[in-house]
Amino acid sequence: MTVDLTATVCGVSFSTPVLSASGTFGYGLELHGLVDPRRLGGVVTKGISLLPRPGNPPPRICETAAGMLNSIGLENVGVERFAAEKIPPLRSLGVKVVANFFGDDEESYVAVAAALDRLEGVSTLELNISCPNVAHGGMRFGTDPTLAGRLVSACRAVTSKPLWAKLTPNVTDIVAVARACVEGGADGLSLVNTLLGMGVDVRTRRPRLGNVLGGLSGPAIKPVALRMVHQVYRARLGVPLVGIGGIATGEDALEFILAGAALVQVGTASFSEPTAMLRITDELRLLCEDQGVTRLADLVGALEV
């Protein structure tokens, strides 16, 4: 039995619904020896800013019981080097690229969006309004529906590419922020970024992260992320959803798809198992075969409540 895994989202066709999550798969080619990015639905690249950024002081990552904390602080090469060095090889391989981006303020967000808009080889933009590890920008926009809507609308005005807004789970009402983003012109919503957390080393009596606070990811956050996809899907905002948070198996991915996600992204799972996304895709295919499903897209939102 052949299973059709393709997903068309905002007019862009993805060969499978399994994409790498921003910040967890470099710029798409670092792991080429282990994972051919052409076998993924797509690569969401590390968050890009107008100028290069060094990120936060170390340590920037630590393990937790069911995941990890990170406070990378959006280290990246800046949009100019991204365009000159990172995009051309991905483009010549034919990898579907989603460019994740951010700014310190509205003006810099808009400037990056405009620069990315000119890049052939970038299919979609993912607007990060959800990073918990930076002093400016990031989560400040994602926790305030009015600011979020205004920022989406300003970025929307400078790009003709599909624009997804990536939301933070660090809010009480995810639907309010989601709705504001859609009203601002978002074509899709990615849910979710990391949950704000921290760890303490009892021997040194110091925080485990140089930045003290960081973002929790991995299996620990899956139920929270899934709940948010479900709530936003139920709100019927009329845009496709991208499910992110703790996905480590085909079943995890299918849970998000049934809850309403048209695509999923895998982050933390790739750290302990770089080929996890390929296994997850195979498992999704097998699950469809077991259930006699020939087209995975038919299962989007098929959750029965």
Ligand X SMILES: Cc1cc2nc3c(=O)[nH]c(=O)nc-3n(C[C@H](O)[C@H](O)[C@H](O)COP(=O)(O)O)c2cc1C
| Site of interaction with ligand X (CB under 6 A) | 21-24, 46-47, 70, 72, 74, 100, 128, 131, 166, 193-194, 217-218, 221, 244-247, 266-269
Is 241 or 266 the residue whose CB approaches ligand X more closely? 266
Q: Are 49 and 292 in contact (CB under 8 A)?
A: no
Per annotation, catalytic residue among 131, 155, 181, 288: 131
Q: Which pairs from 274-280 meet CB under 8 Å and 24+ separation?
A: 274/31, 274/34, 274/35, 275/34, 275/35, 276/248, 277/18, 277/19, 277/20, 277/35, 277/40, 278/35, 278/39, 278/40, 279/250, 280/18, 280/247, 280/248, 280/249, 280/250, 280/252, 280/253
How many CA within 13 A on the CB side of residue 298? 8
Where are any strands of DSSP class E within the chain?
7-9, 12-14, 18-20, 42-44, 61-64, 67-70, 97-101, 124-128, 163-167, 188-191, 195-198, 200-201, 206-207, 213-217, 241-244, 261-266
Is 119 or 280 the residue whose CB approaches ligand X more closely? 280
Least separation in angstroms between CB 73 and ligand X: 9
**131 in catalytic set:** yes
The residue whose two tokens read 């799972």 is 269
Least separation in angstroms between CB 169 and ligand X: 9
Give the span between the Cα atoms of 170 and 232, in whole angstroms.
Answer: 15
Is 100 or 124 the residue whose CB approaches ligand X more closely? 100
Is 101 or 233 the residue whose CB approaches ligand X more closely? 101
Closest CA to 256 of 267, 268, 244: 244
Least separation in angstroms between CB 9 and ligand X: 17
Least separation in angstroms between CB 91 and ligand X: 21
Closest CA to 10 of 156, 186, 175: 186
The residue whose two tokens read 């989603």 is 98
Least separation in angstroms between CB 256 and ligand X: 11
- At residue 127's C-alpha, the angle toward residues 126 and 129, to 5°, is 140
Is 149 or 245 the residue whose CB approaches ligand X more closely? 245
Is 95 or 248 the residue whose CB approaches ligand X more closely? 248
Give the span between the Cα atoms of 153 and 226, in whole angstroms.
Answer: 27
Least separation in angstroms between CB 70 and ligand X: 4
**Residue number with the smallest Cβ distance to ligand X:** 23
What pairing do the DSSP bridges indicate for beta strands 124-128 and 97-101?
parallel
Residues with catalytic annotation?
A: 131
